[in-house]
Structure 1
């Protein structure tokens, strides 16, 4: 599973998302929202969903459009303990 966080600047490449960092954020909080780049495959995001649901967590994923063009979107993932 090779995931990338959403870009904060259109000219910068997206940063790689590490599963350990996501889990560490969930240990500190009851729930967390993450934004993933459009370059992620839907299959990888579904694998992430399976991973956290196997651990007994709730997982919600949405596609968020931030512009009018077809490629101006990101994935919003909300994970709840």
Structure 2
């Protein structure tokens, strides 16, 4: 499963960057990166599947919606691996 990574700024016009759950776990293990941000366009079910997949790999995971504006659609997903 691949998920869209969140943009780093609102004016960014780069193509969509995608990352797999295996790559997320690899970055966690090798680089020590433990917080990942994903685009709000990812289906919530896919985000929950990602959370469950990481939990089955033996890690504790927290999935949050991070709001960055007043509009209901201005949010990104945050996965925090502990």
Q: TM-score, normalised by structure 1?
A: 0.84
Shift of 1:26: 1.4
State the SS of the aligned residue for 1:70. Answer: coil
Unaligned runs of 5+ in 1: none
| Kept in 1: contact 2:4–2:16 (CA 8 A) | yes
Gaps of 5+ in 2: none
**How do 1:8-19 and structure 2 match up within 5 A?**
8-10=8-10, 11-12=12-13, 13-19=15-21
Deviation sequence 1:11-55 (CA, Å, 0-9, x none): 4243111223211111122x6000000010011011111111111
Which stretch of the first structure deviates more once superposed, 64-73 or 17-26? 17-26
SS in 2 for 1:43: helix
SS at match of 2:29: helix
Pick aligned residue for 1:35 from 33, 37, 57: 37
Query: What value does the CA root-mean-square deviation take over the aligned residues?
Result: 1.6
Aligned length: 79
> TM-score, normalized by length of structure 2?
0.83
